Structure 1
Amino acid sequence: MQKPRKQPKHWGNALFVLPFLVVYVLLLVLPLATGWWLSLRDVDMLADTSDFIGLKNYADLLHDDIFMGAVRNTFYFVAMTTPVFVALGLALALALNRPGRTGAALRAIFFGSSVLSVTIVTLVWRLVLMPDRGLLSNLMQGMGLAPIAPLVSETLALPSVALVTVWWIIGLPMMLFLAALQQIPQEMYEAAALDNAGRWRTFVSITLPSIKRTVALVAVIEVIQQFQLFGQSYLMTAGGPNNTSRPIVQFIYETGFRQWALGYSAAAAQVLFVLMLLGVSLQAWLNRRNA
C-alpha cells in the first residue's frame, strides 16, 4: 500500500503574516518589555543614569497613599460605569430597534456624542457643572434650591466624571446591541407571539439568550476602556478635590512627565496592566460560568 505523500511546507506563506508580526512586536511586545525593564530601574533623565533597583518601585507604590487612592478611584469608576453601559446600552437598543426615520434619527442622536473629542465634551460639561454660574446651578436657583458644585465636591466629583463618560460614549454599546438584536430571527418572536408570551417572557427566553455573547463583549470592552480613564478627569477636575478623582493613568502621566520619575511611572503602568488583565479575566470567568 502506497503511503500518502506529505504535503510540502510552503514557508513563503509566512510572508503574508510577517507585516503583522513586525507591527505587533514593534508596537506591543517591545514597549511592554521595555516598560517592565524600566519598572525595575531608577531612571534619572536629567543625569542620564539608570540604576537597577529590583522591585523597590513596586514596594514604594504599595506605601504611596496617592497611588493607592488612584487605584481605589479607578475601581470605583469602573464599577460605576460598566454596569450602566451594559444596561443602558441594551435598553436604548431595545427602544430604538425599529424601522423608520424616527428610529434612525434617534440612533444618530445618541451615537453622535461618541464622535466628539474629549476636549469638547469636558468643555461643555464644565459649563453645565460650573459653580454659581453653571447651567445646573442656575436651574437649581430658579427652583429655589441651593446651588451645588459637583466638580469641587469630594463626594460628587468622580460620579460627575462617570456621568459625563456615560453620556459621551453610550452610543458604542448601543450600536453593538443593535447589531446583535437585528441578527435574531423574527420567526422566534412570531412563535412566541403565537404562544401568547408577554414582553418580559420574550425578552428573558429569546432576546437575552440570543445576545449573551454581545453582553459579554460590551462588558469586557467597557472594563478595558474605563480602566484607562484619563482625559475626562484630567480636564474636568485635574484629579481633585483632594485626589478623590485621580485615576491610575493620570498618576502615571504626572509621575512620568512632570516628576520625571520614569521607573516609578513604569511600575505604576505595569500594575495597571495587571489589574486590567485580572478585571478582564474575572469578567470572562463570570460570563463562562453564567453561559
Structure 2
Amino acid sequence: MADLTLGSTSPAERPAPSRRRVQNVNAPLWRNAIFVAPYLVFFVLLLIVPLFWGMWMSLHKADAFSTGRFVGLANYTRLFNDRIFLQAIGNTFYFVLLTVPALALIGLLLALALNRQTRTAAVLRTVFFASSVLSVTIVTLIWRIVFVPGFGLLSTVYGWFGATAPAFLSDPKLVMIAIAIATIWWCVGLPMMLFLSALQQIPGDIYEAAALDNAGRWRTFRSITFPSIKRTFVLVVVIQIVLQFQLFGQARLMTNGGPNNVSTPLVLYIYDAAFKRWDLGLGAAASEVLFALILVAAMIQYLVSRRKGEDA
C-alpha cells in the first residue's frame, strides 16, 4: 500500500492534457470548393458571361468586326417594328402549343403501356427511345423523304388509295404541323423514359390494395398513378417548353423558314440577323427576347402546376 502511494502522483504534478482544436462538424469546409471549382469555372465562362455579354451587346450597334456605339433600346425598337420578327414569335408559340402537350401525353401513354417486365416491352422501349439519339440532320432527312411531294412515302401511301397527299412542306397551313410531327417523333423518347422512371418508383402494394377495393384502371390512374408522378409531369412540361422554344434545325433544314416565313422560328430569325446580315446587336436583342419568353413561359407553367398541387 505504501509503495502504491509513493508511486502515485498528485493532480498538480500530472501533465496538462494537450488542447486539441475542436472542429464544428456543421461548419463549411472551404477546401471542398476545390471539387466544384472546375464546374463553376465552365458555368461562369460558358453561361453567365455570355448571358451578360449578350445583354450588353443588345444595347450597341454591333457587327462582326466591332462593338460599335451605344444605341440603348434602339435594337429592341427595331425588333418590335419588324413584321418578320413578330411573325417569328407567333410561329414559335404555335410550334410550342403543337409539340409540348403532344410530347407530354404521348410520352406518358407510352410509359404506361411499356411499364412491364417483359422482353417485348424492353425491345419497344429501345425502339421508341432510339430516335432521340439521332442528329437533327438525319431526322430532317428522314421526314423530308416522307413529306416530299410526288414520290415521297406519304405520297406513295396516298397513291395506293387513289388520293393525292397534302403538300405539307409547301402549304402555309400545314408546314408547322409537318415540323411538329418530325419533332415529336424525334423527342418523345426522353419524356417516355422520365415517366417510366417515375412509374417504377411507385410501390406495388398500393396497386394491390386498389385491386382489392375493385378500383378500375381509370380510377387507379386518377387516384394513385398520376398523383405519384405529378412532379415528373411538371418537369417534363417545363423541359419541353425550354427545348421547343429553341426550334432551329428542323425549320432550317426542312423549309428554311418558308413559305413566306410561316415556319420561321425565333432562333432562325436570330441566325439570319446575326450571321447572314451581320447585325449582331439586333440578333443579341432578339436572343434576350427569346430568353425572357422561355423564362416567363416556364415559370408560369411551374407556378400554375404548383398551385394546383397545393389546392389538391
Coarse TM-score class (shorter-chain normalised): over 0.9
Q: Aligned match of 1:144 in 138, 162, 167?
A: 162
Point out the more displaced range, 145-154 or 262-271. 145-154
Map of 1:285 onto structure 2: 303
Deviation at 1:132, TM superposition (A): 1.1
- 1:82 equivalenced with 2:100 (yes/no): yes
Shift of the 42–128 alpha-carbon distance from structure 1 to 2, 3 Å rule, reads same
Deviation at 1:49, TM superposition (A): 5.3
Map of 1:128 onto structure 2: 146
Aligned-residue RMSD, C-alpha: 1.4
Give distance in 2, aligned partners of 1:94 and 1:282.
27
Map of 1:95 onto structure 2: 113
Give distance in 1, aligned partners of 2:202 and 2:32.
38
Render the CA deviation track for 1:12-44: whole Å, top value 9, x for unaligned: 333333222211111111000110011000013
Shift of the 9–120 alpha-carbon distance from structure 1 to 2, 3 Å rule, reads closer
Give distance in 2, aligned partners of 1:128 and 1:6.
68
Secondary structure of the structure 1 residue equivalent to 2:169 = helix
Point out the more displaced range, 115-124 or 7-16. 7-16
- 1:234 equivalenced with 2:229 (yes/no): no
Render the CA deviation track for 1:226-282: whole Å, top value 9, x for unaligned: 000000111001011110111000000111111000000000000000000001100
Q: Aligned match of 1:104 in 119, 122, 129?
A: 122
Output the amino acid matched with 1:207: T
Shift of the 146–17 alpha-carbon distance from structure 1 to 2, 3 Å rule, reads closer
> Which is higher, the Rg of structure 1 or of structure 2?
2
- 1:35 equivalenced with 2:54 (yes/no): yes
- 1:115 equivalenced with 2:140 (yes/no): no
Deviation at 1:99, TM superposition (A): 1.1
Deviation at 1:163, TM superposition (A): 0.5
Give distance in 2, aligned partners of 1:23 and 1:205.
44
Shift of the 191–66 alpha-carbon distance from structure 1 to 2, 3 Å rule, reads same
Structure 2 portions without partners, runs of 5+? 1-21
Aligned-pair identity in percent equals 55
Give distance in 1, aligned partners of 2:159 and 2:207.
49
Given that 2:98 and 2:180 are in contact with CA atoms closer than 8 Å, whether structure 1 keeps it comes out as yes
Q: How many residues align?
A: 286
Secondary structure of the structure 2 residue equivalent to 1:152 = coil
Output the TM-score relative to the length of structure 2: 0.89
Shift of the 9–192 alpha-carbon distance from structure 1 to 2, 3 Å rule, reads closer
Q: Aligned match of 1:165 in 169, 172, 183?
A: 183
Give distance in 2, aligned partners of 1:261 and 1:203.
52
Output the TM-score relative to the length of structure 1: 0.95
Map of 2:214 onto structure 1: 196
Map of 1:14 onto structure 2: 33
Output the amino acid matched with 1:126: R
Deviation at 1:135, TM superposition (A): 1.3
Given that 1:224 and 1:276 are in contact with CA atoms closer than 8 Å, whether structure 2 keeps it comes out as yes
Map of 2:11 onto structure 1: none
Output the amino acid matched with 1:257: F
Give distance in 2, aligned partners of 1:10 and 1:212.
37
Give distance in 2, aligned partners of 1:6 and 1:175.
45
Given that 1:173 and 1:218 are in contact with CA atoms closer than 8 Å, whether structure 2 keeps it comes out as yes
Given that 1:137 and 1:149 are in contact with CA atoms closer than 8 Å, whether structure 2 keeps it comes out as no
Map of 1:23 onto structure 2: 42
